[in-house]
Each structure stands twice: as C-alpha cells, then as structure tokens.
Structure 1
Amino acid sequence: MTAAGAEAGAEAARTSATGDAQVQRQPTVAGVEAGEKPGRGRRVILWRHGQTSWNVDRRFQGTTDVELTETGIGQARRAARLLASLKPDVIVASDLQRAANTAAELSTLTGIDVIHDEGLRETYAGVWQGLTHEEIIAQYGDEYAAWKRGEPVRRGGGELETEVADRAAPVVLRHADKLPEDGTLVVVSHGGTIRTTIGRLLGLESRHWESLGGLSNCCWSVLGEGARGWRLLEHNAGTLPEPVLGDDD
C-alpha cells in the first residue's frame, strides 16, 4: 500500500457516515473527546498573610496577634488582585488579624464573605513568642538546634507540628468537601500552619514536611484534587523569589 493509501485508510477509520455526510470523530484522551473541557477538579489555594513588623525583626509571632505593616497591606492588595482572577468560591482565614486583614482584601474584590476559623492559627510557640531568633538561641539553644535539625520539638513549650496539622488540615478538608466540582477554596493562614497542612494533605511523613520550605509574605501554594488525592501544583507562588521572614524561616 502506498503512503497516500495508508493515510486515506487512517482517515476513513477516523470517520463515520451519517446519510451523505462524513462526520469526523475526534480522538479521545482518558475518555474525554477532544473539544470537551475535562474537569480540573477542586483547588485549594493556601495563602500566607502579608508582612508584619515582627517578620521584619525576625521575632517569633506564633499566636500573638500582630498587625500588618503598610508594606504588608500593599502586598495583600497586590496578591488579592491576582487571586481574584481565579474566581474563588470560598475564603476561609485564621482569625488572627494579620491573616484576617489579608483575607479582607480578597473579600473586597470578590464580594465573598470571609469565614474565620481559629483552627488556622499559627503554631503556638509558648515562651518563644515575642523573642527574636537570636534571643531564642541565647536562651534555648539546645531546643532551637533540635528544631532546626527537624526533630519534633515543642517550641517554647508550645505545639508540635503534627498537632498543628491535626487542627488545621480538617478545617481545609471540611471546606474543600463543600466546593462545587472544579471549585476553588482560598485559605489564608500562616507559614508554619500552611506547610504542615500541605504535608498532611499530601500524605507525607512529618519528618519530610521541612523539605517543603517556607512561604514568603503574601505568597501561596496550590493543591489540586487528583484521582489519588491532593497534589502540589504550585509552591511559594506569586512573586519573584524573596526572603522568607517569619517563624518558619
């Protein structure tokens, strides 16, 4: 058979007759005909709050309710314009003002009321809260070194990372489960809480959570729903690389 004949045969195999007309059948991918838009699945966008003065000072915040700086407000407004274009269905945020006020900027643009949940607060760090990293090293050097080695540590007598995931991940899942097909949830929280929640939702062992790295102020990560669970689609997105300033650096 000539090459032209082979091509004609292949074309005939891709067509079916309806009356006098020839209707070309489109190739399929995973059972979806070309031209159809396959469902992308639900998305969860985990967005860290804007800058605070304690971030700049490298002072541990934990659950201390520190407000945004003017720079942080500007970061929130710029990021909100980008996130609004993703057409979120639900916005849920930590009730600490640095996260709540960041979320408010997105609420203003989308008209979606923010749901506040204390389960999304940052890791409680006990006596470390209010101290700079240098002060913690001077006063609690062994504990700090163990934490940096990735060992499970109750920083300042506070929460373990697994305990943070125990309270935060169910909040995210509860709201994600209520999304429409292809819906988008925006979760506005804190660097440490977001990292541990991502680790839990991806099914990673807690000793590997550190490998995810921290988030810069007002950057976000995106989880997508797949056939076998959640997948990390983007991490620390939103800007060119910037220093990570905060409890999780």
Structure 2
Amino acid sequence: MSAATVVLWRHGRTPFNAENRFQGQLDVPLDEVGRAQVAASAAHLAGLAPSALVASDLTRAADTAGALEALTGLRPQLDPALREVHAGAWQGLLHSEITASWPEEYAAWRHGGDVRAGGGERRSEMAVRTADAVERHAAGVADGGTLVVASHGAALKGALLHLLGLDLGAWTAFAGFRNAHWAVLARGRHGWVLGEYNAGPPGAGEGVEG
C-alpha cells in the first residue's frame, strides 16, 4: 500500500500572517480571509478525489483540513509531527523585531541556512521530521490513492526538498508556499516527482514562512 500522489497544502491566512509575525508552533487560528482561502482551495482539491487527509494538529492547519472534510467526508488525522518549525524566541515576534535582535541568525535563516530558529529547531531537523510523517501517512494509503497533507509553509518546503532528494541548499530556489496553496508530488519509478508547485485559488496572498 502506498499513495501514488501527495498534495502538500499550506494553511490559509492567519492574523499573524497579516501582521508579518513569525508563528512557528504558536497555535494561531485562521482569520476571515484565511477561511475564505481554504474554502476556495478545498473546492478544487475535492475534485482530485483524495483518499486520505492528514494535518498538523495546530488549529490553522486542522481547520484548513476541515474545509476539505466538509466537502469529501474525509476525517483528517491530526499529527503533531507535521507542525511548523519550532522557532524558539522568535515565535510571536514581528519579522522586523527578529531582524533587530538577531540580525545575523535571521539573515542566515532567510537565506536557507541550517540555523536553530530562535534557538529552537534546525531546518534540517524540521525537514526530516515532516518528510518522515508524510512518508508514514502515504504508506497507509491504498495503491493509486491521493493523500492530502495540510501543514505549514516552512514545514512543507522542508518536507518537499527532503522527499525529492534535494539538499537544503536548494531552499531559496523555491518560493515560499502561499497561503492556501499547494504542491503535488507523484510517485515515480525512482522516487517522488514534483508535478505542481504553489498552485492555488486566485486572490490568496503570498504570506510569509512561519
């Protein structure tokens, strides 16, 4: 058993996204715009006839998955391994505040460096954690099925690179996941193949990673 297709879906906008704050693993809900974004995304993803649905257990991701559950009846399995990067002291701060207090560390993070975000988690640790979770859930889907994973911007990009066998040095070659947008991976002969990246409904803002 194994999914043939995996959809990596970022949550909709939150108040912290709108304010340009680093969320990390703080449990911030969707705002009104975010709820509209995920409703539009869910209408499209429902057309893919997904077989299984999993999500980070943080509210913004769980509620994003809930929009697809409402259309498909698939109950999302919540998994804390799919949470965003733990960003330590940076969590809840404006990006300008992080830049002022940790200029070198934050510049390294923004340029794809494998630093401990705010003294918390390394990007490499996050990538392994989230990619392993995606593979574990994909292994439980019937052959030929589609797994939808609702998670977070940096977490999804890390998982994507790891699943594609790319070094984290490729981080800046990929734009950040926009709110309520997704990537599609298909299982090829020699591993996962990227089919779509940053696909999504019109009107969703780019948002910021974290």
TMscore range, shorter length: over 0.9
Q: Is the 8 A contact 2:180 2:204 kept in 1?
A: no
Q: How far apart in 2 are the matches of 1:236 and 1:181?
A: 25
CA displacement at 1:180 relative to structure 2: 1.9
CA displacement at 1:225 relative to structure 2: 0.5
Q: Is the 8 A contact 2:112 2:168 kept in 1?
A: no
Please identify runs of 4+ aligned residues in structure 1 that moved more than 3 A.
239-243
Unpaired segments ≥5 residues, structure 2: none
1:171 maps to what in 2?
Answer: 133
TM-score, structure 2 as length reference? 0.95
1:60 maps to what in 2?
Answer: 22
Q: How far apart in 2 are the matches of 1:114 and 1:145?
A: 36
Q: How far apart in 2 are the matches of 1:189 and 1:120?
A: 6
Unpaired segments ≥5 residues, structure 1: 1-40
Q: Is the 8 A contact 1:195 1:213 kept in 2?
A: no
2:158 maps to what in 1?
Answer: 196
Deviations 1:39-61 (A, max 9, x none): xx700000000100100110000
CA displacement at 1:170 relative to structure 2: 1.2
Secondary structure at the aligned position of 1:188 is classed as strand
Q: How far apart in 1 are the matches of 2:194 and 2:98?
A: 33
Q: Is the 8 A contact 2:176 2:209 kept in 1?
A: no
1:132 aligns with 2:94: yes
**Count of residue correspondences:** 208
Pair 43,239 (structure 1): closer, same or farther in 2 beyond 3 Å = same
Q: How far apart in 2 are the matches of 1:244 and 1:179?
A: 31
The residue correspondences of 1:73-112 to structure 2 (distance < 5 A) are 73-112=35-74
1:214 aligns with 2:179: no
> Which is higher, the Rg of structure 1 or of structure 2?
1
The CA RMSD measured in Å over matched residues stands at 1.4
Question: Which protein, 1 or 2, shows the higher relative CO under an 8 Å CA cutoff with sep ≥ 6?
Answer: 2
Q: Is the 8 A contact 2:54 2:149 kept in 1?
A: yes
Query: 229-238 or 204-213: which moved more?
Result: 204-213
Identity among equivalent positions (%) equals 47
- Among 229, 233, 241, the alignment partner of 2:191 is 229
CA displacement at 1:240 relative to structure 2: 4.6
Deviations 1:182-230 (A, max 9, x none): 2100000000000000000000011113312211110000000000100
Secondary structure at the aligned position of 2:154 is classed as helix
2:75 maps to what in 1?
Answer: 113
CA displacement at 1:247 relative to structure 2: 2.8
Deviations 1:120-171 (A, max 9, x none): 0000000101111111111111111222333211111011111011211111
Deviations 1:56-87 (A, max 9, x none): 11000000000110111111111111100100
